[in-house]
A and B are shown apart, each in its own frame.
Chain A
């Protein structure tokens, strides 16, 4: 177990290093931020001084090594635009995105898993066919369009829910959250639903396929031969087996939603990390973009790490050892 964790930590560090090189080079190639940062009326001397202060006169490899050196100390640089540490900016936005994604994934699981079970148990029935057809819709509708349709229906026509912003927040342990106020929840509802729909579709498909397969297994027939009630067969024998792929996918989706729910956050003007990323790309705020991608990578690595440990808890056959599979 310890050897396994150590090995995974080394792997994670290598992934972060590789991503940092690629991202740094890519952002370097996008364009020169000086043109955007420095007002045209500034004198040439002032301009040079600014370039030197930001370290933009150095060759790219020196800039990278400088960045890496500071990054190892937890300093991912100052935002060109805001003049504050990039990490602080991003982390200030993290709670908003996190609560949005948490609610979205919970919705996806709470609605998706039972519907998937239902569809998987009677794949030929009419409701099951309707559910499965619905998942195709859930997958294929583009996020921005779905978001606008939700606004149109619930905000414009019905007038039930607000269209944008985060609403009233309360502070829990110093972290502001909308999850605990009615106004906050009202603001959360639409963006969370918008993020949840494709994931719900994914869960339904995964669970339905898993259920249909599991019901034909010998252990189900054996449980029936023992006189186990159907409710227990489905809720314990079957669900426990199909939860393994569901946890994998949910983990990956969780990471990708936290990092890249940019479209939904933009449509609903949700003040989260995704919105910050879009804004900083427009402004060529190089350190912020790099810091963002590094944090996102870190998040993915961490989530996958947790998922692997969850496996061991869910599937007794999985033993975490130092050997590579």
Chain B
């Protein structure tokens, strides 16, 4: 097996307020292999976006990364200088954001915003940069890219803007793309087109993708492996087939049972009782315990450590769903 592209160990990111420091990301371990698509799934407030931003150290006050290692191709990014990080961002590690309406600068042309992603990383004439940007736009299915480059974001539809963001992310042939809910703001037909294209481009260019989403259906369609996040930690991880077909963690099981796309037609959706604990009211022991149908006395006392299995699969639960239990 090759060495992992990205290896995260014990990542902890807290947000400070007057009352103290609240962990949004609470000891996350994550591995991404070169060329692999990993889905990071969780509901709102589970810390999945903060995890994504922590990886490239784009956490602003009052947030702070307090501990953990982020090894990218063996280099610990937490020890890297700001200039080194800047050099990596957009070049080796590109990001795609959730809301394509807000992320492009409204008063600069698409061409300028794409070219700067090239020119800030390597010497390149404006002419060459524009040609590269134009090729990148055609690759994501935008027609007449030459004209499009001279236009401003408001002249693009939401789906087109997200394609621009994807094209921009691909400009420098990065090793890793961190995509933070990039299709959430788009309608379903556009969403599936974009998923298809991302998968294709990832295969073609050998770029690994960390796809952050709340949508299990997206993960099922797109990813090789999946990590399920709850209350700032990863509660279950493994291949998509393993985790979605044979979940071991009760939370994963609950997510699957409540997702329309994952339940057989005609079957009733089941919701998970209760709500995710807010960041300042996490219970002791296992954070999922108050909502869990399988909770045992031990769950209130002891935070379950990760159970790592041979296939690289792991889960954090004292009383896992028995193997062979259909979701």
List A residues at the B interface (Cβ < 8 Å).
217-219, 221-229, 232, 236-237, 240-241, 314-317
Contacts and interface: CB of A to CB of B under 8 A. Distances in A.
B307 interface: no
A228 B107 CA distance: 16
Interface in B153-196: 154, 168
A229 B316 CA distance: 41
Interface stretch (B86-94, B133-141, B202-210): B86-94
B99 interface: yes
B107 A240 contact: yes
Contacts of B117: 226-228
A318 to B, nearest CB: 10
A39 B106 CA distance: 67
B102 A218 contact: yes
B89 A224 contact: yes
B103 A228 contact: no
Nearest to B82: A230
B97 interface: yes
Contacts of A237: 105, 108
Interface in B125-154: 152, 154
A222 B116 contact: no
Nearest to B107: A240
B95 A232 contact: no
B91 A227 contact: yes
A223 B90 CA distance: 9
A241 B106 contact: yes
Q: 10 tightest A-B contacts by CB?
A: A227-B90, A226-B90, A218-B102, A316-B152, A225-B95, A222-B103, A227-B89, A219-B105, A226-B117, A218-B103
Given A225-B56, A227-B91, A232-B116, A317 B154 contact: yes
B246 interface: no
B105 A241 contact: yes
A226 B104 contact: no
Contacts of B78: none
Contacts of A226: 89-90, 94-95, 116-117, 120, 168
A218 B106 CA distance: 11
Nearest to B95: A225
B107 A221 contact: no
A241 B105 CA distance: 9
Most chain B CB inside 10 Å of its own CB: which residue of A224, A229, A240, A315: A224
Interface of B: 56, 58, 86-91, 94-95, 97, 99, 102-109, 116-117, 120-121, 152, 154, 168
Contact of B58 (A219, A221, A240, A317): A221
Contacts of A218: 97, 99, 102-103
A229 B86 contact: yes
6 contacts: A221-B97, A222-B97, A225-B89, A240-B107, A241-B105, A316-B154
Most chain B CB inside 10 Å of its own CB: which residue of A218, A222, A236, A241: A222
A137 B27 CA distance: 51
A229 B121 CA distance: 10
Nearest to B168: A226
Given A218-B103, A225-B90, A232 B108 contact: no
Contact of B108 (A217, A227, A236): A236
Contacts of B121: 227
A217 B88 CA distance: 22
Contact of B86 (A219, A221, A227): A227
Contacts of A224: 58, 86, 89
Nearest to B154: A317
A316 B108 CA distance: 8
Contact of A240 (B56, B104, B108, B116): B108
Given A225-B56, A225-B97, A240-B108, A217 B89 contact: no
A300 B40 CA distance: 58
Nearest to A223: B105
Contacts of B116: 223, 226, 228, 232, 236
Given A227-B121, A241-B105, 4 more contacts: A222-B103, A224-B86, A226-B95, A228-B90
B210 to A, nearest CB: 13
Given A227-B120, A228-B90, A228-B116, A317 B106 contact: yes
A316 B113 CA distance: 14
Nearest to B165: A222
A232 B120 CA distance: 9
B132 to A, nearest CB: 14
Contacts of A223: 105, 116
A144 to B, nearest CB: 40
A314 B117 CA distance: 22
A229 B89 CA distance: 11
Nearest to B109: A316
A229 B109 CA distance: 18
Contacts of B94: 225-226
A227 B88 CA distance: 7
